[in-house]
Amino acid sequence: MKKTALIISTYNWPEALNLCLKSVLIQKIFPDEIIIADDGSDERTQKLVKHVKEKFPVRVKHVWQEDRGFRLAKIRNRAIINSESDYLVFVDGDILLHPYFIYDHVKNRKPNFFITGSRVLLSEKETTSRLNSEDYLFKWLNYSAKNRINGIHNDFLSLLISKENKGIYNVRGCNMSFWKDDLVEVNGFDEQFEGWGREDSDIVLRLLSSGRKKLKLKFNAIQYHLFHNERNTHSLLENDKIIAETKSTQRIRAKIGLAECRIKDK
């Protein structure tokens, strides 16, 4: 049996991470391990993870790095290195999972493919209500969201509509899954990307260039994204230059990735 890891990226929002982890507890199938990829949170997150570990029937690892700005690519690489599984599902700590979220990613995985799932964008009012009540359950479509239709879970519709997709900008790293060996082949996430934006588009571009295919799921692998203000986009210009260079050179491996992360972490 192939083992599956759930990797949850987080930064200084323990209230959201708490709800995220609660939604993991109601999954129809469990991942074999859970890794909290922590990009420099303070001791509140450490206390939360320590508290919830006992509730899970699988091992929960907390991988932390010093807070030196937005370094999502690096902390994801460190999580990959610390994983013991064959298949890796990536989410963020500010999302809640549909009960069939892990099941759908595992059910739809196949060789030479990686997956992007469906995302519902909760309203600010709905998010405040959820955080105050610690309610992580979603029944039907009776909640306030920008795109509630994405919350419909239906295997038949998913089979009809889900398809191979080659876009690199219509992806969200908060709902993707990969074979670990495929990530190793492209040297993981590129740590050149610092500051918000484009690290997920970059790894999609390099995986597609390596011959892998992207399956975009609709009505399966559903997550509910808590509202937050837009990230600081000041780094997008520099990050877009990296994307352009990756395209022009048809580069497949990250310049600063898993191999370099292993060396530095020894």
Q: Is the pLDDT of residue 266 over 50?
A: no
pLDDT tier, 197 (very low <50, low <70, confident <90, very high otherwise): confident
Q: Two tokens at 228?
A: 């937050």
Q: Is the pLDDT of residue 219 over 60?
A: yes
Q: Is the pLDDT of residue 265 over 70?
A: no
List of residues 6+ apart from 195 with CB closer than 8 A: 69, 70, 232, 234, 235, 236, 238, 239
pTM of the model: 0.95
Domain tally for the chain? Answer: 1
- Edge-to-edge order in the sheet of strand 213-216: 59-64, 33-38, 4-10, 87-92, 175-179, 113-116, 213-216, 163-164
> Range of 118's domain?
4-265
**Per-residue pLDDT tens over the stretch 107-137:** 999 999 999 999 999 999 999 999 999 999 9
What CATH number is attached to the domain comprising 33? 3.90.550.10
Q: Is the pLDDT of residue 38 over 80?
A: yes
Yes or no: say if 61 and 82 are a contact pair by the CB < 8 Å rule: yes
Q: Two tokens at 21?
A: 């982890």
Yes or no: say if 202 and 190 are a contact pair by the CB < 8 Å rule: yes
Q: Which of 56-60, 77-81, 195-199 has the lowest mean pLDDT?
A: 195-199
